[in-house]
């Protein structure tokens, strides 16, 4: 299957989804959200796929939102369509995937990119990787981290990461529960293959049942609040300032 922003293939019972915009560090554009949802939907329905792998092409997992594309919404209606017509359907698809989802990270995973890793069942990262919930630095929001993060990470560090946007190394991210395995780059593939072999010894019914139990942690009210607050931030003057500063490669002035 050919998608514009994502490479998708199935081999050895693994559905591999590779974000493929390396020229912009796999920034999450409208098309990327759309294609990721499509690929996840196909992988979820394909009986040949037992595991879903998400990774990024080139030197990054994902730098987060494509600010150059989504930083200048022409209207609140356009921003609302982005949140509820693209972002929410992607997360809905990821959350309802019954198969084990593994993020393979080699390089920066920032903003919504870090959230994709956080929302995965297993995260394997090279020691060269870094993670940051950095949406607030451009006036946006890492809304999903506030929903699922408390059950997966050290709560205090999760809060600090969102309030400061400061990055963690892969080793630090492992210590705080964001990453499952931090390994040298050359050990990424062997580690992935080892974990997949182990998954293949476990009943897929058992794994899907375990994931259903995990999903009960997802509060509908919290998710609704998350999307509402994401919409609030990306229609704010702070987002206009943050986006402009990002494009101009200057420090945003939120407190002038």
The alpha-helical segments, DSSP class H, found in 84-183 are: 88-95, 112-119, 143-148, 155-164, 170-175
Domain layout of the chain by residue ranges: 6-186
| Pairing relationship of beta strands 14-19 and 181-183 according to DSSP bridges | unpaired
| Pairing relationship of beta strands 130-132 and 181-183 according to DSSP bridges | unpaired
What's the pLDDT score for residue 256?
A: 80
Stretch 166-186: mean pLDDT, rounded? Answer: 98
Within the chain, what is the greatest distance between any pair of CA atoms?
A: 58
Cα dihedral across residues 107, 168, 135, 150: positive or negative? positive
Stretch 12-27: mean pLDDT, rounded? Answer: 97
What's the pLDDT score for residue 162?
A: 97
pLDDT in tens, 47-101: 999 999 999 999 999 999 999 999 888 899 999 999 999 999 999 999 999 999 9
pLDDT in tens, 1-18: 679 999 999 999 999 999
The alpha-helical segments, DSSP class H, found in the chain are: 30-45, 67-70, 76-82, 88-95, 112-119, 143-148, 155-164, 170-175, 188-199, 204-215, 220-234, 237-248
Cα 183 from Cα 55, distance rounded (Å)? 15
Q: Chain-wide mean pLDDT for the chain? A: 96
Tokens of residue 248, six digits: 């101009």
Tokens of residue 22, six digits: 């390396």
Tokens of residue 200, six digits: 């293949």
Cβ-contact 43, 9 below 8 angstroms: no
What's the pLDDT score for residue 71?
A: 87
Exposure string (b/e) for 243-253, b if CB count within 10 Å is 16 or more?
Answer: bbbbeeeeebe
Cα 67 from Cα 86, distance rounded (Å)? 15
- Residue 247 pLDDT greater than 90, yes or no: yes
| Pairing relationship of beta strands 122-126 and 101-105 according to DSSP bridges | parallel
Cα 142 from Cα 146, distance rounded (Å)? 7
What's the pLDDT score for residue 52?
A: 98
Q: Evaluate if pTM is beyond 0.75.
A: yes
Tokens of residue 169, six digits: 């190394």
The superfamily in CATH containing domain 6-186 is 2-enoyl-CoA Hydratase; Chain A, domain 1 (3.90.226.10)
What's the pLDDT score for residue 2?
A: 79
Question: What angle do the packed helices 88-95 and 112-119 form, to 10 degrees?
Answer: 20
């Amino acid at each position: 299957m050919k998608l514009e922003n994502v490479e998708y293939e199935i081999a050895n019972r693994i559905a591999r989804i590779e974000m493929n915009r390396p020229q912009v560090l796999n920034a999450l554009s409208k098309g990327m959200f759309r294609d990721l949802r499509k690929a996840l939907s196909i992988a979820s329905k394909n009986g040949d796929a037992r595991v879903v792998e998400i990774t990024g092409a080139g030197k990054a997992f994902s730098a987060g939102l494509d600010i150059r594309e989504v930083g200048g919404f022409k209207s609140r209606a356009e921003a609302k369509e982005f949140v509820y017509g693209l972002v929410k359907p992607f997360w809905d698809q990821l959350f309802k995937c019954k198969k084990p989802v593994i993020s393979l990270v080699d390089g920066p995973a920032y903003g919504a990119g870090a959230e994709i890793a956080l929302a995965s069942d297993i995260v394997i990262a090279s020691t060269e990787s870094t993670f940051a919930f950095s949406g607030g630095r451009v006036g946006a929001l890492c809304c999903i981290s506030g929903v699922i993060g408390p059950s997966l990470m050290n709560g205090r560090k999760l809060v600090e990461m969102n309030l400061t946007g400061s990055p963690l190394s892969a080793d630090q991210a492992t210590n705080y529960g964001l990453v499952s395995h931090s390994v040298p780059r050359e050990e990424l593939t062997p580690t992935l293959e080892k974990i997949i072999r182990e998954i293949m010894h476990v009943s897929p019914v058992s794994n899907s049942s375990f994931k259903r139990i995990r999903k009960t942690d997802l509060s509908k009210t919290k998710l609704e609040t998350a999307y509402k607050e994401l919409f609030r931030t990306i229609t704010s003057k702070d987002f206009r300032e943050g986006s402009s500063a990002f494009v101009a490669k200057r420090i945003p002035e939120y407190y002038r």
